[in-house]
Chains A and B, each alone.
Chain A
Amino acid sequence: MSTAEDLPVLGAPVDRVDGPLKVTGQAPYPSDVDLPGQAHAALVQSTIAAGRITDLDTTEAEKAPGVLAVLTHHTVPRLPRGPMTSLGVSPPAPLQDDRIRHHGQHVALVVAESREQATAAARLVRVEYAPADPVLDFDDPRAVSVDDPWGLDSHRGDVDAGLASADVTVDAVYTTPDNTNNPLGLFSTLAAWEGERLTVYDATQWPAMVRETLAEVFGVPEVSVRVLSPFLGGGFGAGLRAWPHVILAVQAARDVGRPVKLVLTRPQMFTSVGHRPKGVQRVRLGATADATLVAIEHHSTSLLAVEDDDYEPFAAGSAVAYACPHVVTADRQVRANVPAPVSMRAPAHAQGNFALESAMDELACALDVDPLELRLRNHADVHPALGLPWSSNALRECYAVGAERFGWSRRPARPRSRRDGHWLVGQGMAGVSYPWYQAPSLARVTVTADGGATVASSGMDIGTGTYTVLTQLCAHLLGLPLEQVRSDLGDSDLPEAPQAGGSGLTSALGSAVADACERLLGALLELVRDDPESPLHGSDPEDVVAAGGGLRRRGDPGRGETYAAILARHGRPQLGADGASTPAQPTELGMALAGAFGAHFAEVRVDEDLGLVRVSRVTTVIDGGRILNEKTARSQVIGGVIGGIGMAVFEDTITDPTTGRIANATFGDYLVPVHADVPDLDVTFVGEPDRASALGVKGVGEVGLVGVAAAIANAVHHATGVRVRSLPITLDALL
């Protein structure tokens, strides 16, 4: 049988189904949850970046009013590290010894009756250190480095020969600073033990992983751990790991025998839950006079914590961005006494694309061709490494539609040729090929006696719209109105789904939901087919569709019955089915799996006297495959572009060069765009459903951010003639 006739519900710009809950303050964000009898915890963090704790005196803190316990490396049992994940090793377990590996490392946790008491007592913990000279930057000769940490270095053809054959070359070094994810919601963990059963309300993007980690670290079976994250005040990657503070909250709850709640402070959000690491990239490009790329060489070095992993292959994307015979990409990570970095929205690609797309602009200038023309001439019609056709690719359309909407053809070729009073006006662009990512997922769909349906999954909605698109999808597939479908998400007791990350959740979880719907309809059909009382008795599956809240004869909607009627007659309160999805395999399909593609066109105004950069216009066109909801998808891209503006001109996490302390760990000092910095953003979707995905969906959570920094940097060059190769582009570079 097939599923519903096309209802307008799929793809439609439906309002968020969880919107009313959120705007009325009823959505339970992690820090909103309280349990009876809970205690509160506050962290004590290291004030040196490297060395040892020589003395840790908790006497005064323990005597302070309301204090229940002070956890230190003397009290916390030896805990194993959590499991390996697709993002590398788990963070080191906290409070295991006297070693300090970065400024802001947790050295104690104070538990008290109230948050204020815990915070006040945390100030009374006396810590003496034997500081060592920290490694804080790439160029420190003591730094240990890891080559090709992700096995993604690539090599094809002969780059030296390619460069030698080039008529024009570009060789440039680009630097990007530390950026901090900075979700608005402070991360919070509330842990409660009942015997060996553990319940944790956690600010995570990956409840299933946190469950597995806590089970392993605390030596309890996975089934006895439940992790809940139904709502999150943003994550941008910060919620992709079970961080040390999560382990500490759980340990504290075990120690005091009460639920314990730990809410990080804003400064702690800069040191405890990751950041985008800074990096240096060298790009060499070679092209023949007719603007054909003959060589791409892209090397990156980025910072890593001394005992942790971070998925950050900056250069890897350059291997597949353009058709080019000779390519080398190589990534290196250097260990330093810095807080652990983590994926931040479009990890690695945000930085790598900035370098590559800036270098392409430099190459266009050197060749004296239009930057858009250069990209079109070297467009990767097939996957450059595999030689396979793409499962979908509308990058050319992104360029064409974007150029048209932006008015690119009216752009003068020469830099510094347009002005408006004291403002120099410039335009730049960048292309984006975002990688495909998907992980296996499960989901369950259940129809209930009231005739409605419920989707259930451990996958969660970071605010992107997962609740909404799954509800739409299920409603569409079961022929139900939206109001009759509910999605329950973010609960590790529900069927396991992967992380809300890598722009891969909608496709993975959506496909599992589609599979569950199909199985559910099959099971329902079996019920009615053999049921002489059903109007569909004896129907051939091919002749039945899901519509009007139940099963109907194709072409004869009057003949059919609702799910409620079917369940009632069979005396069932509900009927559910499990669905699964597995990632496609390119070789089996004979196709290269495509992620989203995109193009950004940016206009900037630069004050000629003062160097001020203001972004005045951005046009973005995205090929995200099939768009399940125009509105939430557009919001994702708009948010991505704003993140890209931040990366381009504001965001800079500053590490004090001597102490290793993050100096600007507040929202007053770490600048992100405010409304006045964000012009109207023009976002358009193009492309076809992806052929390798059951739903035709490609993720759009990250692609909107990638390329914005390069488009802006290129526009700054076009405005001023000054090439800024270091982010953020602040006025001092343009004075």
Chain B
Amino acid sequence: MRTFSYVRAPDVETALRTIATEPNAKFLGGGTNLVDLMRENIERPDVVVDISRLPLTGIDELPGGGVRIGALVRNSSLAAHPLVRTRYPVVSQAVLGGASAQLRNMATVGGNLLQRTRCLYFYDEASACNKREPGSGCSALGGFTRNHGVLGVSDHCIAAHPSDLCVALAALDAEVEVESTRGTRRIPLTEFHHLPGSTPHVETALAPDELVTSVELPAPVTTRSRYRKVRDRASYAFALVSVAAALEVRDDTVTAARLALGGVAPKPWRATEAERVLLGAPATEESFRSAAEAELASATSQDGNDFKIELARRTIVATLRDLLTDRSAA
């Protein structure tokens, strides 16, 4: 039987020291992803460092109007927090669109950032998977790809990043603060996750000995923001496509736009092409459609996920249109 040791870190310093000295250790947040992966023999840490009692659970207002969210804030607390609900509705909606109430009560912000793909082949030890076993191949290619990505994918891996929260964070220019025994640094969320290229097993910019301590959101450019998640059933399913959007319109012209996509790429996908088209354009359905076309221009698909390209375009348009017309989103 595979055994591992379990250490409960009483403070950040111990957590950092343990992870720095143990060659094959993993942090345990809510455990909703790590424990599943350990059961499936995909993650095999020798040491599990339980960080769930670390005092990183605050949601604090920053000078200048931003907000700092502790890495161990539970997903449910994040979604319910008044600061988040009023300034960043898109974040609250994204979290509530994910998983189930029970899972959100356990899952932490840091864990959500680092959750791994739901690719059905990644989870099967007997299937070839470059992410799990570099160089073994990709079973998804030619297989079942309904849940896979169409943007930023490579010949080595087409897995989609599953997080909803990260899509909202990517749209809002969030920054991730990480800490190790070597010090502290900040990583923009859009650079936190890597595209697969030829190394799909390298998923994030986080070093193995680094702890995510918080996520910072700058003051919102607008509170008119929204998360739209499209999935087969009404609840408790990963996104086929999701859109996080914030839109500011003056005199029928787009003066600010923040847009990110989920379910379609190996990382939370900041839609910079679409934003470029939108900025300064008339706030019309035609502009929204052109923006969507521009963003999806580089998309590539398999038989099983071809529909996602058009679905992503339409979801972008629908979300922006809703933001434009729904006064309650203001």
Q: Which residues of A are interface residues toward B (Cβ below 8 A)?
A: 47, 64-66, 116-117, 120-121, 123, 422, 609-612, 614, 649-650, 654, 656-659, 661, 663-664, 666, 668-669, 671, 673-677, 730-732, 735
CB<8 Å pairs between A and B, sample of 5: A656-B143, A657-B144, A661-B124, A674-B233, A730-B232
Is B314 a contact partner of A671 (Cβ separation < 8 A)?
no
Most chain A beta-carbon neighbours within 10 Å: one of B121, B127, B233, B307: B233
Q: What is the bound-complex CA distance between A673 and B236, given in angstroms?
A: 10
Neighbouring B residues of A675 by C-beta, 8 Å: 235
Given contacts A650-B233, A664-B120, contact A735 B127 (CB under 8 A): no
Most chain A beta-carbon neighbours within 10 Å: one of B1, B118, B124: B1
Least Cβ distance of A695 to chain B in Å?
Answer: 39
Is A735 a contact partner of B235 (Cβ separation < 8 A)?
no
Contact flags B1-28 to A (C-beta < 8 A → 1, else 0) = 1100000000000000000000000000
Contact of B234 among A120, A657, A674, A732 (CB under 8 A): A674
Is A609 a contact partner of B236 (Cβ separation < 8 A)?
no
Q: What is the bound-complex CA distance between A203 and B127, given in angstroms?
A: 31
Does B315 count as interface, using CB distance less than 8 angstroms? yes
Does B56 count as interface, using CB distance less than 8 angstroms? no
Given contacts A663-B121, A674-B233, A732-B307, contact A116 B1 (CB under 8 A): yes
Is A65 a contact partner of B1 (Cβ separation < 8 A)?
yes
Is B118 a contact partner of A669 (Cβ separation < 8 A)?
yes
Q: What is the bound-complex CA distance between A661 and B126, given in angstroms?
A: 10
Is A663 a contact partner of B120 (Cβ separation < 8 A)?
yes
Neighbouring B residues of A123 by C-beta, 8 Å: 41
Is A47 a contact partner of B126 (Cβ separation < 8 A)?
yes
Is A64 a contact partner of B1 (Cβ separation < 8 A)?
yes
Return the chain A residue nearest B123 by Cβ.
A666
Q: What is the bound-complex CA distance between A731 and B308, given in angstroms?
A: 10
Is A609 a contact partner of B314 (Cβ separation < 8 A)?
yes
Q: What is the bound-complex CA distance between A123 and B39, given in angstroms?
A: 12
Least Cβ distance of A161 to chain B in Å?
Answer: 43
Most chain B beta-carbon neighbours within 10 Å: one of A64, A123, A614, A663: A663
Q: What is the bound-complex CA distance between A47 and B125, given in angstroms?
A: 10
Interface of B is mostly: loop
Contact of B118 among A116, A654, A659, A668 (CB under 8 A): A668
Return the chain A residue nearest B143 by Cβ.
A656
Does B310 count as interface, using CB distance less than 8 angstroms? yes
Most chain B beta-carbon neighbours within 10 Å: one of A610, A671, A674, A676: A610
CB-based closest 3 A-B pairs: A676-B234, A120-B1, A732-B307
Q: What is the bound-complex CA distance between A657 and B144, given in angstroms?
A: 8
Contact of B120 among A47, A669, A732 (CB under 8 A): A669
Does B318 count as interface, using CB distance less than 8 angstroms? yes
Q: What is the bound-complex CA distance between A677 and B240, given in angstroms?
A: 17
Return the chain A residue nearest B240 by Cβ.
A731
Contact of B230 among A658, A659, A731 (CB under 8 A): A731
**8 A Cβ contacts from B292-314 to A:** 307, 310-311, 314
Number of residues from B at the complex interface, CB < 8 A: 29
Neighbouring B residues of A422 by C-beta, 8 Å: 318
Q: Which residues of B are interface residues toward A (Cβ below 8 A)?
A: 1-2, 41, 118, 120-121, 123-124, 126-127, 139, 142-144, 230, 232-237, 240, 307, 310-311, 314-315, 317-318
Q: What is the bound-complex CA distance between A12 and B52, given in angstroms?
A: 52
Is A658 a contact partner of B143 (Cβ separation < 8 A)?
yes
Contact of A659 among B127, B237, B310, B314 (CB under 8 A): B127
Least Cβ distance of A545 to chain B in Å?
Answer: 54
Is A120 a contact partner of B2 (Cβ separation < 8 A)?
yes
Neighbouring A residues of B314 by C-beta, 8 Å: 609-610, 735
Q: What is the bound-complex CA distance between A711 and B177, given in angstroms?
A: 53
Least Cβ distance of B327 to chain A in Å?
Answer: 15
Count contacts between A and B, CB distance < 8 Å: 82
Contact of A657 among B127, B142, B230, B311 (CB under 8 A): B142
Q: What is the bound-complex CA distance between A154 and B144, given in angstroms?
A: 38
Is A735 a contact partner of B310 (Cβ separation < 8 A)?
yes
Q: What is the bound-complex CA distance between A654 and B127, given in angstroms?
A: 15
Most chain B beta-carbon neighbours within 10 Å: one of A657, A658, A661: A661
Given contacts A663-B144, A664-B120, contact A731 B126 (CB under 8 A): no
Neighbouring B residues of A654 by C-beta, 8 Å: 120, 144
Return the chain B residue nearest A124 by Cβ.
B1
Is A650 a contact partner of B232 (Cβ separation < 8 A)?
yes
Least Cβ distance of B237 to chain A in Å?
Answer: 6
Q: What is the bound-complex CA distance between A508 and B82, given in angstroms?
A: 60
Neighbouring A residues of B139 by C-beta, 8 Å: 656, 659
Return the chain B residue nearest A45 by Cβ.
B126
Neighbouring A residues of B240 by C-beta, 8 Å: 731
Is A614 a contact partner of B234 (Cβ separation < 8 A)?
yes
Neighbouring A residues of B236 by C-beta, 8 Å: 674, 676
Q: What is the bound-complex CA distance between A610 and B315, given in angstroms?
A: 7
Is B317 a contact partner of A609 (Cβ separation < 8 A)?
yes
Is B1 a contact partner of A731 (Cβ separation < 8 A)?
no
Neighbouring B residues of A612 by C-beta, 8 Å: 230
Neighbouring B residues of A677 by C-beta, 8 Å: 233-235
Is B127 a contact partner of A609 (Cβ separation < 8 A)?
no
Is B233 a contact partner of A657 (Cβ separation < 8 A)?
no
Is B317 a contact partner of A731 (Cβ separation < 8 A)?
no
Return the chain A residue nearest B238 by Cβ.
A668
Least Cβ distance of B323 to chain A in Å?
Answer: 14
Most chain B beta-carbon neighbours within 10 Å: one of A120, A656, A735: A656
Given contacts A609-B314, A663-B120, contact A671 B143 (CB under 8 A): no
Is A656 a contact partner of B144 (Cβ separation < 8 A)?
yes
Neighbouring B residues of A730 by C-beta, 8 Å: 232
Least Cβ distance of B260 to chain A in Å?
Answer: 18
Neighbouring A residues of B310 by C-beta, 8 Å: 735
Neighbouring B residues of A661 by C-beta, 8 Å: 124, 126-127
Q: What is the bound-complex CA distance between A710 and B2, given in angstroms?
A: 50
Neighbouring A residues of B307 by C-beta, 8 Å: 731-732, 735
Least Cβ distance of A68 to chain B in Å?
Answer: 14
Neighbouring A residues of B127 by C-beta, 8 Å: 659, 661
Q: What is the bound-complex CA distance between A274 and B22, given in angstroms?
A: 45
Q: What is the bound-complex CA distance between A664 and B121, given in angstroms?
A: 9
Neighbouring B residues of A609 by C-beta, 8 Å: 314-315, 317-318
Q: What is the bound-complex CA distance between A657 and B233, given in angstroms?
A: 24
Q: What is the bound-complex CA distance between A611 and B240, given in angstroms?
A: 12
Is B232 a contact partner of A671 (Cβ separation < 8 A)?
yes
Most chain A beta-carbon neighbours within 10 Å: one of B139, B232, B315, B318: B232
Q: What is the bound-complex CA distance between A319 and B314, given in angstroms?
A: 44
Least Cβ distance of A180 to chain B in Å?
Answer: 15
Most chain A beta-carbon neighbours within 10 Å: one of B121, B142, B230, B234: B234
